[in-house]
Amino acid sequence: MKNFCLILLLVAVTLLMSGCETIHTDAQLLDAPWTLKYDSSRVGLRAGWFDNDHDRSTWEETTVPGVWADDDYDGFAWYSTEIQAKNIPAGYNLALVFDSIDDNAVVWLDGRLFGKQMGYNIKFFFDIGDKLADGKVHHLVLRIEDTGGPGGIPGAVYLKPYIDEVDLLRNEASKVKAPASPEWVKDAAIYEVFVRQHSQEGTFQGLIKDLDRIKALGIDLIWLMPVHPIGLENRKGSVGSPYSVKDYYAVSPDLGTLEDFKQLVQEIHLREMHVILDFVMNHTAWDNELMDQHPDWYSQDDNGVTIPPNTDWHDVADLNYDNPALRSYQLDMLQWWIKETDIDGFRFDVAELVPNDFWVDAKAACQEVKKDVFFLAEGAKPELHLNGHDMTYSWNMWEGVIQLAQGTADPSELKRSYEMEKLQYPQGALRMRFSENHDKTRSATLIPDRELNLTAWAFIALMDGNPLIYAGQEIGTKGNYLPALFEKIPLKWKQGDMAISQVMSAVLQIRKEHLTSASPFKFIIANNDKKILAYQHGPLLGFFNFSDSDFKFKAGGIDSVLMGDLPLDEAGNFILSPHRFTVMK
């Protein structure tokens, strides 16, 4: 390596002495004009919008970095620009780098499919040096799939000469250790509850009756979606979203009393589980009393009119954290809930929209009341771990496993997404792994095949990170998150498939017996042709067959098969059936 560096230095000196240009390894931003076209009918692929000779004269100009201007549009949109690499230094690779995509991307270069990326806010790149002729103009086209809110390319896009891809991708946050999280959460299995939907009563008392079953499932931490009174003004649906908070210091009378809530927390603790409460710090209902008392605490347009965070969230008003009085109010309120109800922490809605410095103050304030308080951020930015949050959302693995099960992604893409994640997050950062949550269509709807859906969840649940079950998932509940978020639609426990619950419980038990947050994890198979993924996690080997065919394999040094039916053929090969998984030790 020293000799290589010396050679580079001598080359640079020679170029300077000869009057030539020096070697430039700085990023070259793709600042040529970008154009955009929405694809609500999903015709772009069939119409060849990626072709070099496609007429893009009707596409609108747009800005990158940025999100698309239509706040109300979810779905597919296409981006196009030109690339012209200049002065590519000899001896270097050349990367096409995307700092962030919202949410998924397919990339074409000069009309040819170049690659895909799954998951919001994960930095990624393609090695592109052998595809670009120095000084020649090339055409870059992306199809962006957004799964909620305005989508687009919120991060910079650039060409970057590099030698080692680790140096290219490594985020500053990944160079440090994540602040210590509470010991009790490091190996916790999480269970998300929407109290209104959980029982026929839709109350705290109704949930208390189900705590023994939840405990037996293998759960350590219960996450309660917001329990506050819901605003009436601009309400969505007949009963409204729990994320439209009318009163931070109260619980919804439909759910019970504050005393009922305290009893629920006590009963959870008696069963040696922990509980966190979902809090909405970025916005309130329009009829929250703060609107009348402190209108200056809210974001306003140029005409002084209070505004929502975006046009789709018209049932809530955006809070403005530039106001110190608002910050003080929120800190006092968080402390009050811990003191008054003994909850163990919070899940914070859209945490990325609240300033990072507020989260630092919030964590310190809450730790004054309960030292081992836990913060779960709804967000994926690595910096959240350095600003008070203990755990973030693993959207990239959700995207990957859903697409893999649906046949629109390859195992190698999911493995690659995981590897890039490790170059982005602080060392030891806790990541929540899930195949569904309240913001997404139920996985049993996205993956109708029962066994394949279970395999997708088991893949998530046994990898590193903290597994999540969204209440109802364990009985195969189907449905879209809309209208479920705005209506009362109780879960149908008696009609559910309890056999799914038994499998999930067995998986969580294996996890508890054999794995800890310190157990090493690595992929060992990512076979695109056979649609097979396998990894080693601590002493465990997990094999996951996402294909429609038997997978035959040999595995030496196996003590036992902990889960899964694995017959042997005449040649001594294990046979893993389609859509199934197995766990071995």
Please name which of 558, 581, 366 lies closest in space to residue 458, comparing C-alpha atoms: 581
The CB-side HSE value for 364 (13 A sphere, CA atoms) comes to: 9
Distance CA 160, CA 404 (A): 30
| Other beta carbons within 10 Å of 427 | 12
- For 550, which DSSP code? -
Model confidence over 342-351: pLDDT tens digits? 999 999 999 9
DSSP state of 148: S
The whole-angstrom separation of Cα 360 and Cα 566 is 50
E-strand ranges in 466-569 read 466-470, 521-527, 532-537, 540-545, 551-553, 561-563
Please name the residues in contact with 228: beta carbons below 8 A apart, sequence gap of 6 or more: 242, 245, 246, 247, 248, 250, 251, 252
Residue 19 pLDDT greater than 60, yes or no: no
Mean pLDDT in residue range 501-507: 98
In single-letter form, the type of residue at position 405 comes to A
- Sequence-separated (6 or more) residues with CB below 8 Å from residue 382: 171, 173, 174, 392, 424, 425, 426, 429
Contact 137, 33 (CB under 8 A): no
Asked if 349 contacts 378 with a C-beta cutoff of 8 angstroms, the reply is yes
Apex 523 CA angle, 522 and 525, nearest 5: 155
* pTM for the full predicted model: 0.87
Backbone conformation region of residue 154, classed left if phi is above 0, alpha if psi is from -120 to 50, else beta? alpha
Q: Report the candidate in 151, 189, 103 with the shortest Cα–Cα distance to residue 399.
A: 103
Looking at residues 442-461, what average pLDDT do you find? 98
**To which residue do tokens 């479920």 refer?**
484
Q: Is the pLDDT of residue 5 over 60?
A: no
**CB-CB contact of 204 with 494 (8 Å):** no
What gap in Å lies between CA 408 and CA 401, rounded to an integer? 10
Q: 485 vs 286, 287, 437, 438, CA distance in Å? A: 18, 19, 11, 8
- Mean per-residue pLDDT of the chain: 92
Does pLDDT of 7 surpass 80? no
- Taking residues 430-436, what's their average pLDDT? 98
Q: Is 314 helix (H, G, I), strand (E, B) or coil?
A: coil
CA-nearest of 327, 347, 420 to 382 is: 420
Dump pLDDT digits (tens) for 257-297.
Answer: 999 999 999 999 999 999 999 999 999 999 999 999 999 99
Cβ 142 vs Cβ 56: under 8 Å: no
Side chain identity at 516, as an amino acid letter?
Answer: T
pLDDT at 13: 33
DSSP 8-state secondary structure symbol assigned to residue 256: -
- Looking at the predicted structure, is the pLDDT value of residue 255 above 90? yes
Q: Which ranges of 156-288 does DSSP label H, i.e. alpha helix?
A: 165-169, 195-198, 204-208, 211-217, 258-270
pLDDT at 25: 66
Helices (H), 163-247: 165-169, 195-198, 204-208, 211-217
Under DSSP, the state recorded for 122 is: -
DSSP string, 271-290: TT-EEEEEE--SEEETT-HH
Determine the distance from the C-alpha atom of residue 441 to the mean position of all C-alpha atoms in its chain, rounded to a whole number. Answer: 14
Helix (H, G, I), strand (E, B) or coil at 309: coil
**What's the pLDDT tens digit per position in 29-66?**
998 899 999 999 999 999 999 999 999 999 999 999 99
Q: Give tens-digit pLDDT for 522-562.
A: 999 999 999 999 999 999 999 999 999 999 999 888 999 99
**% of the chain with per-residue pLDDT over 90:** 81
Q: Amino acid letter at 218? A: G
> How does pLDDT run across 353-364, given as a tens digit for each residue?
999 999 999 999
Separation of first and last alpha carbons in the chain: 40
Residue 90 exposure: Cα atoms within 13 Å on the Cβ side: 10
β strands within 150-189, DSSP E: 152-153, 157-162
Phi, psi (degrees; rounded to nearest 5) at 303? -95, 5
Residue 200 in this model has a pLDDT that exceeds 90: yes
Rounded to an integer, the average pLDDT of 170-183 is 93
pLDDT tens by residue, 305-351: 999 998 889 999 999 999 999 999 999 999 999 999 999 999 999 99
Confidence of residue 1 (pLDDT cuts 50, 70, 90): very low
Q: Which band of pLDDT confidence, cut at 50, 70 and 90, is reported for residue 131?
A: confident
Q: Where are the alpha helices (DSSP H) in 52-193?
A: 165-169
Burial (CB count <10 Å: 0-12, 13-18, 19+), residue 205: middle
Rounded CA separation 452/488 (Å): 29
Question: What is the rounded average pLDDT of the residues 468-477?
Answer: 98
| Tokens at 197, concatenated | 């939907």
